[in-house]
Structure 1
Amino acid sequence: MKLISFKTGNKDKIGVLKGKEITEISSSMIQAIKSSNIDKLESLGSYNFEDINVSVPISPSKIVCVGLNYTDHAKELDMDIPEEPIIFIKPSTAAIGHCDNIIYPNNSTQVDYEAELGIVISKEADHVSSNDASDYIGGYTVINDVTARDLQRKDVQWTRAKSFDTFAPIGPCIETELDPMDQNITLKINSKFKQNSNTKNIIFDVYELIEFISNIMTLKAGDIISAGTPPGVGPMNVGDTVEVEIEGIGILKNFLKNDNK
């Protein structure tokens, strides 16, 4: 089931997306991803996807990202498979939604795309085993781990390069029923394919990631783990349209704009 956050007028709403039709439900997104009976929630009306403004599907307290987590990406870079996950954090202020603008920072000369699978945490996870990890997953979403690559190369830490406002597009929805380990993942710039792989190439699977991360930090309901990017990472330019698609979830579209502040 696809759950979506959206606005009509100035009102924030939650709905179930089927094709192009959205049925509004009487629930918060946290309640919805925890619920085993979403179909029994009260319906508050219906909308067409083309007539609403899509919001960030959920508000994470943090986005925990994983580096070098695809075998084909490691091969592309001629790098060894890591012995354990390489992680970093994006702040919640980086999150934007479907069709929002990615802002190109004035102090960067290379802003890259990275198509990624997002794991949405449904309840507090602290020292969770991989065997139990599925109990803490509320669904999956699409993420673009936008990176100021020149600043990443310059800095010892990755924080600045990964944390600019708008550098974590998420959406367009949360799919609650998905096999995370066999879905095509692609990225297009201006309708031209740049990344094309499958989540079966992930090195540390979603359950291993939850175990590893939850043994370092407590994951809160609504937090997102971004599970790494496949090969083909490269730069975006102002004026570009970027589309990340994960089979079974949908297409996350964003536009690259100048920083006019």
Structure 2
Amino acid sequence: MSVAIALPQPGLGTFRLQDDVVIASVKSALELGYRHIDTAAMYDNEAAVGRAIRESQIPREEIFVTTKIWFDRLRGDDAIAALRESLAKLELDYVDLALIHWPSPNGEVPMAEYLGALDKAREMGLTRAIGVSNFTIAQIDEALSLPAGKHIVTNQIEVHPLLANTKLVQHCQSKGLQVTGYMPLAVGKVMDEPVLQDIAANHKATAAQVALAWVASKNIIVIPSSTKPAHQKANLEALELSLSADDIARIDQLDRGERVANPPFSPAWDQ
């Protein structure tokens, strides 16, 4: 399978950011050089994100915009209606990437139904590319076996030093999918890890920068969330860090399967 669209590295995550906070965050990130903005219907901030994109005055075609469809909008053509609603809030004619935010809990809605609708939205020009989020190995295999599967470009999953998600990452990449890693800083927990602090000191960097560099070293697109321009700049600079093989091996040892995003409707995660 060939990936038709490359996701810019890094992206800006906007989960939990609202109103003026998300507007300021998106505008400062774009000013610093970010060109990938990640939102979702469930974040309830698409209107503010769209406003920030417009006010940035950066040409629309230079910005990669991702949004996601919640699992209560998966029946029939409802995914298409949901994406239209997202576009109306964003005040955009299209997004660059539309994701299924979570697989249908307990497989209640057949995957063929909602991925088929999502691919139809792509054919209609509502999104340039389609993808999934929080899909397991078995779900990825099922998705790729469907007619819509050949157009799936990414699986967006939680990845950070405390949850490397190695089997799933490698499986997706072996199938030609890009992996997008959300919560790459484990909502700040990585800052307290002595191994990361030690490696950071050797590189004159921060533990957060080392964590981001480690995720990126796995050929994963990182989408950290940040409201402070100084942190956004540091996150960009993290991608210029060159970790040694020994650094990476030490960080690999931190994996303890510590999952941050694990709601009751989660699929049966790969171990």
TM, length-normalised to structure 1: 0.25
The higher relative CO (CA closer than 8 Å, separation ≥ 6) is in 1
Structure having the larger proportion of residues in strand:
1
TM, length-normalised to structure 2: 0.24
Structure having the larger proportion of residues in helix:
2
